[in-house]
Each structure stands twice: as C-alpha cells, then as structure tokens.
Amino acid sequence: MQYPLLTVYLCSLLGGFTHVFFDMFTHKDMPYVIYPLAYGNPFYMGNASIIVEIIVILLAAYSILQWIKAK
C-alpha cells in the first residue's frame, strides 16, 4: 500500500511533536521546552516519569495490535 507524500509528511510531523511532548515529562535536561518563557524543564516529573513511560509502552502495543488486526 502506498501513501500520499502529504500523509507521510503530516504523520512524521505529528510523530516528532508527540515524541518531544512525551520526552518533556521524562527528561530532566531539556532546557528549551518553552524557552522564551522559562529556561529548564518545568514539566519534568522525576521518579513519577515511569507513568509516562508505561503509557507510551501501552500505546505502542495498542498501535501494533491494531496494525496486525488490519492486515
């Protein structure tokens, strides 16, 4: 199956933004998350970041299951 170039581009762009979105909760050293407003990462959750990692793992597993089911 081939996808239009615009669809590939938009999915890649969305993937990049969601990657940074989830990383801002799990990485202490991201000083430019909202740079003009604050230096540093005010969203870092410390040890609670394991919750975000579990959510990401569950979303990835769900995505793979949906992809297999569609085949």
Q: How far is it, in rounded angstroms, from Cα 42 to Cα 18?
A: 17
Confidence at residue 22, expressed as pLDDT on a 0 to 100 scale: 87
Domain count, the chain: 1
Confidence at residue 66, expressed as pLDDT on a 0 to 100 scale: 95
Band of residue 13 on the pLDDT scale cut at 50, 70, 90:
very high
Residue scoring higher pLDDT (1 or 32): 32
pLDDT at 35 over 80: no
As a whole number, mean pLDDT of residues 40-45 equals 84
Query: Hey, is 40 helix, strand or coil?
Result: coil
Q: Do 25 and 45 touch, CB atoms closer than 8 A?
A: yes
The residue range of the domain holding 18 is 5-70
Band of residue 59 on the pLDDT scale cut at 50, 70, 90:
very high
